[in-house]
Amino acid sequence: MKDKKHPQMPVCQENYRNTHFTKEEYEALENMFKDLTKDNIQTKAGKLDRSQFRDVLHATFKMTDDMILDRVFRAFDEDSDSYINLSEWIHGLSIFLRGDLTERAKFCFDVYDLNGDSFISREEMFHLLKYSLMKQPTEEDPEEGTKELVEILLKKMDYDHDGRLNLTDYETAVKDDDLLIEAFGACLPEPQTAKTFLEYAFTVPKVRSRYH
């Protein structure tokens, strides 16, 4: 007697269940990606490059910090090929727009871990915070103010007292005080902006692409 084969689930249905999106939201974001990449050719076919991705973050989420924009791109670019493919786009947006506290904490940690060594060092904290403080008018020396802020944050977040933050430190601190989730720079969208982005995705005309 032959085994009965189960009907194969459509790819979209399989994929959206691994995200925080509904099937309709998944399809709208997939279509938006096709629209953004429809004119890309050669090596960029069906992929977003760094410049295109930064344009989306800047225009839609009002993100303007060059360092943070670059780091968010790297957090989305899971295979480190300097492009965002459809899978990375959907998975990244799932966390960026709808992630739970643990997912968003891991995302922010990866953004702030500038050299990718799985720690946020004093130097990285200083580098990330310095430019934020320099944009704010103050009579205090920005470098001294930044050093003081680094020490304050280390005191609150460095649970194993080794002078740097690992992911466990970061997640523990964020669970104790969720206001610390973007301690070293804004890298997540405001809830209303995330909602507006998803609403906009449904307005993008249906795109047929030979790459997907």
Please write the tens of the pLDDT for every residue from 186-210. Answer: 999 999 999 999 999 999 998 765 5
Please write the tens of the pLDDT for every residue from 26-35. Answer: 999 999 999 9
Class of domain 20-201 as given by CATH: mainly alpha
pTM, 2 dp: 0.86
Please tell me the predicted confidence (pLDDT) of residue 15: 76
Domain ranges across the chain: 20-201
Please tell me the predicted confidence (pLDDT) of residue 40: 79
Number of C-beta neighbours around residue 207 at 10 A:
15
Please write the tens of the pLDDT for every residue from 60-85. Answer: 998 989 999 999 999 999 999 999 99
| Cα→Cα distances 116→28, 112, 173, 189, Å | 32, 9, 20, 23
| Cα→Cα distances 36→28, 89, 146, 175, 187, Å | 12, 11, 39, 36, 22
Range name among 11-15, 102-106, 169-173 with the lowest pLDDT average: 11-15
Please tell me the predicted confidence (pLDDT) of residue 46: 87
